[in-house]
A and B are shown apart, each in its own frame.
Chain A
Amino acid sequence: MLTKRIIPCLDIKDGRTVKGTNFVNLRDAGDPVALAAIYAEQGADELVFLDITATVDERKTLIELVRNVAHTINIPFTVGGGISSVADVSALLNAGADKISINSSAVRNPDLVNQLALEFGSQCIVVAIDTRWIAMDENASRFEHIVHTHGGRKPTALRTIAWAREVEDRGAGEILLTSMDTDGTKAGFALDLTAQISGTANIPVIASGGAGSMDHFVDVFTTGKADAGLAASIFHFKEIEIPALKNYLQEKGIEMRL
C-alpha cells in the first residue's frame, strides 16, 4: 500500500542549515549533508531543502551542496528557493536533485510551470504555495485564503484553492502547501484548507506549517487528507523523533514505511 510520507525540511543559507538543531551526535550543527544523512537513516521518506537567501552568488554554493547531498543519501529530495528559470532547474537536477520546488516565480510567471513540466516532466516539479487567511474588506467581514509570496509577507491577488487547481492543470506534479497562519504555532496543521485542496486534487499534497505533536500528523493524514507531512524545527530540536512518529502513525492505522 502507498504510504503517507514524513518530510523534514532544512532551511539553507550560504550552504548551511540556519535554524540550528539539537543533534548532539552532529559535530557540525550547521552541516546540511550530515543532517540529511541522519534523517535518511532515521527513516525520513524524503527531504526538502529550502534555500532562503538564494542570491546569484550563493547559487554555486547551493549546487555544490545538492551534489554532496545526492552523493550521500539514497532517498528522494527536493530543492527550492529562488528558482525562476529552466536553466536554474536544469542545474539543480543535473547536480542530483530529484525534484525542484518553485513558489514566487510561478506566481509571477505561471507559464513557467508549463515550461518546466514540459522540459523535465511533472514528476519533478513541485509548486510551493504559501497561504494566509485574510480579511478581504476593511470591516473584516469577509475572509479568504490568499496566496502570499516573499516568505508569506506579501499578499497576491490569487485565491489559494483556485491557484492550487491552476498549477495542477499547468503540470505541477505535487503541491507543497504551507499555511502561514499555523506555521510556527505548533498548534496543528491547517486541516480544512489542506483537506479542501488534497481532497479534490489529482496530484499529491504535502502539508506544512503547524506541526507540534504526533497527533497533529495523525490529523493531517486523516482529516486533512494530506499525502505527506512536512516539518522543520520539531525534528531539528528532537521534540518529535521520526522513528517514534512513524511507529505511532502506523499504530493509528496510517500506512508508513518502517
Chain B
Amino acid sequence: MKTVIIKYNAGNVQSVMYALERLGATYLLTDDEAEIRSADKVIFPGVGEASTAMAYLRERGLDTLIPSLKQPVLGTCVGMQLMCRYSEENNTTCMGIFDIDVRRFPTHRGDGQPGFKVPHTGWNSIHQLKGPLAEGISENAYVYFVHSYAAEVCSDTTAICDYVRPFSAMLHRDNFYAAQFHAEISGDVGQRILENFLKL
C-alpha cells in the first residue's frame, strides 16, 4: 500500500511520519501530482496559518488537485480547516470539500467569566462518534488538540468536541476524512484512528 503525505509549507509533519512508522506503514512525503494521484491513501497534515498555506497550495495547483482525489484522504488540524469552505483566519477562502466555515474561538464566554483560553490546548473528549475512523473508539474518548480555529458542526460532522461551544472534531464526506486533533500524538486512541484510516 502506498501512503502519501502531502508536502507543503504547513509546518512540522515529523510526528505524523513517526506515527505511521509505529503502525508499520511506509509513506512518501511529496508534492508531486503523479505520486499523489497514484497513492492508495493521502494524508494532508497541517500546522500553521491558513492564508499562507492556501496561497502555497494555489501556487502549486494543489488546491484543485486535492478536491479531485478519489482515494481516501485524511486532513488533520489546519489541513482539515483548509478542506472547509472558508476560514476566519485572515479571511481565507479554502477548498470547500466540506460545506462549512471555520471560526475562531471567542476568548471568553461572553458572560465576563474567564476560563476559556485560546488556543484550545490539551486533551478533550469527543462524542457522537460516527463512521469508519471511529471504529473501536468509545464515546468521550480523549484526544489531543492545539488550535484557535474550528469548523462548526454540520451534516458531515462525525465527532463533536465541546470547547466554548460544540465544534467538529471530525468530518467525513465521500472519500474525504478530517480530524481537528492531532491523532499522531493522541495516545492509543489517536493510533487507532490512524490505523482505521489506513485500513479503509
Q: Is the CB of A75 within 8 A of B187?
A: yes
Binds B, one of A11-19, A118-126, A148-156: A118-126
Q: Are A228 and B122 in touch, CB under 8 angstroms? A: yes
Q: Is residue B99 within 8 Å, beta carbon to beta carbon, of the partner chain?
A: no
With A1-B124, A75-B185, A123-B121 as known contacts, state yes or no: A70 contacts B14, CB within 8 Å: yes
State whether A2 touches B187 (Cβ < 8 A). no
Contact of B122 among A3, A74, A122 (CB under 8 A): A3
Q: Nearest Cβ distance between residue A156 and chain B, in whole angstroms?
A: 26
**Top-8 shortest CB links A-B:** A257-B142, A123-B146, A257-B123, A96-B14, A76-B185, A2-B124, A3-B123, A93-B12
B120 in the interface, Cβ–Cβ < 8 Å?
A: yes
Contact B121 A121 (CB under 8 A): no
List, in ascending order, chain B residues with CB within 8 A of A120's CB.
11-12
Tell me whether A204 is interfacial, beta carbon within 8 Å.
Answer: yes
Whether the pair B18, A71 counts as a contact (CB closer than 8 A) is yes
Q: With CB as the reference atom, state the residue of chain A lying closest to B191.
A: A74
A96 and B15 in contact (CB under 8 A), knowing A40-B187, A74-B187? yes
What are the interface flags for A120-148 relative to B under an 8 Å C-beta threshold, 1 for contact and 0 otherwise?
Answer: 11111000000000000000000000000
Contact string, B106-117, partner A, CB cutoff 8 A, digits 1/0? 010000001001
Assess whether A3 is in contact with B14, with CB atoms less than 8 Å apart.
no
Q: In the complex, which of the residues B14, B22, B107, B188 contacts A94, with contact meaning CB atoms closer than 8 Å? A: B14
Q: Are B14 and A1 in contact (CB under 8 A)?
A: no
Query: Are A71 and B21 in contact, with the CB atoms below 8 A?
Result: yes
Contact B22 A174 (CB under 8 A): no
Is A98 in contact with chain B by the CB < 8 A criterion?
yes
Q: Is A45 an interface residue (CB 8 A)?
A: yes
Q: Residues of B contacting A3 with CB < 8 Å?
A: 122-124, 142
A214 proximal to B (CB < 8 A):
no
**Do B18 and A70 touch (CB < 8 A)?**
yes
A→B interface (CB under 8 Å): 1-3, 5, 40, 45, 70-71, 74-76, 93-96, 98, 120-124, 173-174, 199-204, 227-228, 257
Can you list 29 A-B pairs with a CB-CB distance of less than 8 A? A1-B124, A1-B162, A2-B120, A2-B122, A2-B163, A3-B122, A5-B123, A71-B21, A71-B22, A74-B19, A74-B22, A74-B184, A74-B187, A75-B185, A93-B12, A93-B14, A94-B14, A98-B15, A98-B185, A121-B49, A122-B119, A123-B47, A123-B147, A199-B114, A200-B114, A204-B117, A204-B122, A227-B122, A228-B122
Q: Nearest B residue to A69 by beta-carbon distance?
A: B18
| B118 interface contact, C-beta 8 A | yes
* A43–B88 CA distance with the chains assembled, in angstroms: 35
B131 CB within 8 Å of chain A: no
A200–B117 CA distance with the chains assembled, in angstroms: 10
B71 CB contacts on chain A under 8 angstroms: none
Given the complex of chains A and B, what is the CA–CA distance between A74 and B190 in angstroms? 8
Contacts of B191 in A (CB 8 A): 74
* B15 touching A94, Cβ below 8 Å: no
Determine which of A93, A174, A202 lies in contact with B107 in the assembled complex, contact meaning CB atoms within 8 Å.
A202
| Closest A residue to B147 using CB positions | A123
- Chain B 24-57 per-residue mask, 1 if CB under 8 angstroms from chain A, else 0: 0000000000000000000000011100000000
B93 contacts the other chain (Cβ, under 8 Å)? no
Tell me which residues across on chain B come within 8 A of A98, comparing CB atoms.
15, 185
Q: Which of A70, A75, A93, A173 contacts B121 (CB 8 A)?
A: A173
Within 8 A of A (CB), among B144-200: 144, 146-147, 162-163, 182, 184-188, 190-191
- Whether B92 sits at the interface, judged by CB under 8 Å, is no
CB within 8 Å for A202 and B117 given contacts A3-B142, A121-B49:
yes
CB distance from B87 to the nearest CB of A (A): 15
Q: Which residue of A lies closest to B162 (CB)?
A: A1
Q: What is the distance, in angstroms, from B1's C-beta to the closest C-beta of chain A?
A: 21
CB closest residue in chain A, given B14: A96
Question: In the docked arrangement, what's the CA distance between A146 and B47, Å?
Answer: 34
B contact residues around A227 at 8 Å (CB): 117, 121-122
Minimal beta-carbon separation of A4 from chain B (angstroms): 8
Task: Indicate if the CB atoms of A174 and B121 lie closer than 8 Å.
Answer: yes
Residue numbers in B under 8 Å from A123 (CB-CB): 47, 119, 121, 146-147
Q: How far is the CB of B71 from chain A (nearest CB, A)?
A: 25
CB < 8 Å: which of A5, A76, A124, A202 contacts B118? Answer: A202
